[in-house]
Amino acid sequence: MSSATLAACARRRRAIVVSVAITCATGGCAVALSPEVMVPSPPVTAARTEKTITVAQVTTEGEASTAALDPAEQFKVADEQFRVALVKALEASGMFRRVTSAGRGDYQLLARIVAQQSQRAGFLTVTSSFVANYRLREEESGREVWRETIVTHETAEGRPFSEGVPGAGKKALAAAVRRNIADMLEKLARGVQ
């Protein structure tokens, strides 16, 4: 290949990389929330039991979308990050003697993300909703001892120039998930006592 052909190929590759980066930066690719922003703070505390619990793989109802055409939906809750947030929240609650995401415990928590949505509620304001279905099973008997579907909504505003609509979407979705997990912990504490 000639040097002119190689240079043309390099320019095309750079143009493709730049266009993909711009698409992702302007709302083309959904970014997973980190587990740390989903854990309730301060932690929800509950009466302690000597039982142990394993958090099973989280699933999402339907197909999980990775595209984000609206800047309000630039952030999503991914299955594995949600599972990590559940483990951290359960550990912080002190409800169980041991919380793990591998092996067997006295109980197994199964969580399914039913829906998550963020939409503009104003110029720099976003409202997010998060719906999760939780089931608690006794490992030994396989009997379901508790089940709940929890729906939460939160609204947040993004700072002009530094966060904008994507920042508002991230804050609103993270707040909706934190509230969802906090509600789950409170209801679970009543269900296992």
Query: What whole-number percentage of the chain has pLDDT above 90?
Result: 66
Q: Which of 54-58, 59-63, 99-103, 167-171 comes out lowest in average pLDDT?
A: 59-63
Separation between Cα atoms, residue 163 and residue 157, nearest integer Å: 9
7: left (phi over 0), alpha (psi -120 to 50) or beta: alpha
pLDDT bucket at 42, cuts 50 / 70 / 90: confident
51: left (phi over 0), alpha (psi -120 to 50) or beta: beta
Give the burial string for 46-69 (b: 16+ CB within 10 Å, else e). Answer: beebeebbbbeebebeeeeeeebe
The pLDDT value recorded for residue 27 is 45
Picking from 169, 191, 185, the residue whose alpha carbon sits closest to that of residue 86 is 185
HSE-CB for 97 with a 13 A CA cutoff: 7
169, pLDDT greater than 80: yes
23, pLDDT greater than 90: no
The pLDDT value recorded for residue 3 is 66
Prediction pTM value: 0.81
Higher pLDDT, 135 or 164: 135
Mean pLDDT of 9-19: 47
Alpha-carbon Rg for the chain, nearest whole angstrom, is: 21
Query: Cβ distance 136 to 188 under 8 Å?
Result: yes
The rounded mean pLDDT for the chain is 86
SS (H, E, C) 94-151: CCCCEEECCCCCCEEEEEEEEEEEEEECCCCEEEEEEEEEEEEEECCCCCEEEEEEEE
- CB count in 10 Å sphere of residue 165: 22
Which class for 106: exposed (0-12), middle (13-18), buried (19 or more C-beta within 10 A)? middle
Separation between Cα atoms, residue 4 and residue 102, nearest integer Å: 56
Higher pLDDT, 122 or 82: 82
Mean pLDDT of 150-155: 98
The pLDDT value recorded for residue 18 is 35
The pLDDT value recorded for residue 24 is 43
Domains of the chain in start order, with CATH, are: 3-192 (3.40.50.10610)
The DSSP secondary-structure symbol of 160 reads T
Query: What whole-number percentage of the chain has pLDDT above 70?
Result: 81
In this structure, the chain runs to a length of 193
The pLDDT value recorded for residue 175 is 97
pLDDT in tens, 66-112: 555 688 789 999 999 999 999 999 999 999 999 999 989 999 999 99
**3-state DSSP assignment of residue 69:** coil
